[in-house]
Amino acid sequence: MNQHRIASFGHLLLASGYLIFTLTGPWAKRDSGFGAFSSDGGTGFGIIGVTLGAILVILAILRIMGRSQVVPGLGVEQLTLIVGIAAWLNLICFIVGWLPLFEEGQGRRRGVPGTGWGVVGGYFTVSQLPLLLCPLTLGAPSPSKGIKPLVDKTRQMFSTATIICGATLIAFPFMTWVTSGPVELSAFDGRNNNPTEPDASYTILTGSGPRFGYLLLALGVVAILAGLMRLRPKGLAEPGPNLLLSHCLLVVALVSLTMPLGIIISCLQRSGLDIGIGTWLTFASSLALFGLAISENKVRDAVGV
């Protein structure tokens, strides 16, 4: 059994473990466990997590079958790396962003609920997937022969659009992401201990926004720098022989997409919460960046190792 096949079965083991943990385990530790699809559990982030877990299992099966390309421009290894990072960060966003929005209980028992074993188990399994695949994807000795270079005009168009999307990922989190009555929260708001409804069993904390803005700020800066560097006459050197800049931008797009999408689904599941304009605009910007990355991968016809 060669190294590639060992990595393929390792991929299947980790992906299956992640899917089982996130699908069957509780996401929020309250008086009783609430699972991925519960409005008091994983909410939108649980739905996204289970979906990404199912995709990772399918990709593992394709790897074992010997498939190199999933869709035009995306090989199994690259797509697994992209989805694996997004699934891992989706759990982090739930833990540090969405869950601390709410506190439960009354009096001395009031507090932010903890994370359930489903999230903890899913985190430790999916966090290993990028580590397993990076050496295989980045360390390939030679690029696939079918990868095509970008002509200057196309390169400039993709780069300019990437810079614009990166700037919006920085700007839109400063706008309103979640509203609850008179409270309007941006993606940068921190947390204090002043509930808006002291008599309710579950309350949203004043100033306790989802706090995704810091990650989106970093992603936006990366996208802008990548776009500016690629505007140079000689362009930007690719991260690896079979890992292109467009693959990295797809990671940025997918990660940034899961945050507003998780908020949208979660707010639709809960009464008393409304979706802010910043969430919708970030969602649209992430979709645009996602489309750009997919289009570039298709143009370059980058397959797997």
Mean pLDDT of the chain: 81
Between residues 178 and 144, which one has the greater pLDDT? 178
Between residues 179 and 234, which one has the greater pLDDT? 179
Contact 213, 173 (CB under 8 A): yes
pLDDT of residue 195: 46
106: left (phi over 0), alpha (psi -120 to 50) or beta: beta
pLDDT of residue 97: 85
Contact 161, 224 (CB under 8 A): no
What share of the chain in percent tops pLDDT 90?
A: 31
pLDDT of residue 5: 74
Top mean-pLDDT range of 42-46, 106-110, 198-202: 42-46
Say what angle helices 128-138 and 3-24 make with each other, to 10 degrees: 150
Q: What is the pLDDT of residues 246-297, one digit of tens each?
A: 888 888 999 999 999 999 999 888 877 889 999 999 999 999 999 998 888 8
- Residue 302 confidence class, pLDDT cut points 50, 70, 90: low
Quick one: DSSP state of residue 150? Answer: P
Q: What is the pLDDT of residues 8-19, one digit of tens each?
A: 788 889 899 999
**Long-range contact list for 62-67, CB < 8 A, 24+ apart?**
63/7, 63/8, 63/11, 63/12, 64/5, 64/8, 64/9, 64/12
Asked if the model's pLDDT at residue 209 lies above 90, the reply is no
